[in-house]
Amino acid sequence: MTTAIINNHNICLAAMRKIGVTAIDEAPTADGIAEAMLALNRMLKSWQNRGFNLWTVTSKSLTLTTAASYAMTPDRPLEIQSARLNRSGVETPMQRFNREQYDTIPVKTSTGLPTCFYYNRQKETGTLFIWPVLAVAAGQTIELTYVRELADGTLTDNIDVPSEWYDATVYGLAARIADDYGVAAPNVVARAEEELRIALSYDREGSVYFVGDGYT
């Protein structure tokens, strides 16, 4: 059995109806649904900052040249969790460097098998630096595990959350936009907190932790 994927418009409309600004038998105003979409994008970015995004962990293979740096395009990873040098199918873990550690390398073009990486994430772009660099490229790759960014969506886009997060998203958005309409909705706020806790209990690989609210 599969769950139907719903779009951002459905999420926004459901949130508006939870706080009573749009009746169950009427369509939302164009301005109202547009503002709800902006709020949804902001909320998802806020969740992303809190690490509520296990479903965005993905992987890619980067073919190496003799360069010391690689533009991470077209997507900009939020974080590179791990990197492994792949030589003929054998993967060797690489050490993660922070900026200070990478900056203190005296000769960044030293040649050898790459053992370290540093990821520099900027506002719009990301660059992966490796060290040492290959003297000769012969099909080696770096296998990356990273957290992808949630792109800003439009009303017609499918919501970029898994189905088990639908309720947390609807109630979280409803709690967020209630302030915009001057609506007191304590029951919705309480439900948003509960649905977020439920979703987070699923969105981790066996770990236990505590969080504050993530909808405001």
> Within this chain, do residues 92 and 21 fall inside the same structural domain, yes or no?
no
> Within this chain, do residues 93 and 44 fall inside the same structural domain, yes or no?
no
Other residues' Cβ atoms within 10 Å of the Cβ of residue 92: 13
Alpha helices of 128-203 — where are they, by DSSP H? Answer: 166-181, 186-202
* Predicted confidence band of residue 53 (pLDDT cuts 50, 70, 90): confident
What pLDDT is recorded for position 206?
A: 55
Residue with tokens 């997060």: 165
- In the predicted model, is pLDDT for residue 68 greater than 90? yes
Is residue 210 a part of any domain in this protein? no
> Within this chain, do residues 48 and 69 fall inside the same structural domain, yes or no?
no
> Within this chain, do residues 138 and 196 fall inside the same structural domain, yes or no?
no
CA distance 47 to 214: 6
Is residue 216 a part of any domain in this protein? no
> Within this chain, do residues 129 and 90 fall inside the same structural domain, yes or no?
yes
Is residue 84 a part of any domain in this protein? yes
Please name which of 216, 177, 169, 214 lies closest in space to residue 28, comparing C-alpha atoms.
177
More confident residue, 166 or 75: 166
Side-chain half-sphere exposure of 83, counting CA atoms within 13 A: 24
**Lowest mean pLDDT segment, chosen from 43-47, 85-89, 133-137, 198-202:** 198-202
Decide which of 147, 167, 186 is a domain's last residue: 147
Decide which of 147, 176, 210 is a domain's last residue: 147
Q: What is the span of the domain harbouring residue 104?
A: 56-147
CA distance 143 to 190: 42
Is residue 215 a part of any domain in this protein? no
CA distance 52 to 58: 14
Encode burial over 135-160: b for 16+ CB neighbours within 10 A, e otherwise. Answer: eeeeebebbbebbbbbeebebeeebb
Is residue 49 a part of any domain in this protein? yes
Question: Taking CA 199 as the corner, what is the angle to CA 161 and CA 153, rounded to the nearest 5 degrees?
Answer: 20
> Within this chain, do residues 174 and 103 fall inside the same structural domain, yes or no?
no
Task: Tell me the residue length of the chain.
Answer: 216
> Within this chain, do residues 161 and 89 fall inside the same structural domain, yes or no?
no
Is residue 124 a part of any domain in this protein? yes
Tokens of 15: 């949130």
> Within this chain, do residues 98 and 143 fall inside the same structural domain, yes or no?
yes
> Within this chain, do residues 73 and 119 fall inside the same structural domain, yes or no?
yes
CA distance 116 to 97: 7
Q: By three-state DSSP, how is residue 60 classified?
A: strand
Decide which of 112, 127, 147 is a domain's last residue: 147
Query: Is the pTM here over 0.85, yes or no?
Result: no
What pLDDT is recorded for position 210?
A: 45
- In the predicted model, is pLDDT for residue 207 greater than 50? no
> Within this chain, do residues 77 and 122 fall inside the same structural domain, yes or no?
yes
- In the predicted model, is pLDDT for residue 26 greater than 90? yes
Kindly write down the DSSP assignment for every residue of 101-119, as one continuous string: HHHT-S-TT-BSS--EEEE
Tally of structural domains, the chain: 2
Cis, peptide link before residue 77, omega less than 30° from 0:
no
- In the predicted model, is pLDDT for residue 176 greater than 90? yes
* Predicted confidence band of residue 208 (pLDDT cuts 50, 70, 90): very low
pLDDT, averaged across the chain: 92
Is residue 13 a part of any domain in this protein? yes
Strands of the sheet with 141-147, listed across from one edge: 57-63, 141-147, 79-87, 90-93
* Predicted confidence band of residue 74 (pLDDT cuts 50, 70, 90): confident
Is residue 3 a part of any domain in this protein? no
CATH of the domain at 13: 1.10.3230.20
**Lowest mean pLDDT segment, chosen from 100-114, 125-139, 199-213:** 199-213
For residue range 127-162, what is the model confidence (pLDDT) as tens digits? 999 999 999 999 999 999 999 998 889 999 999 999
> Within this chain, do residues 132 and 63 fall inside the same structural domain, yes or no?
yes
> Within this chain, do residues 132 and 157 fall inside the same structural domain, yes or no?
no
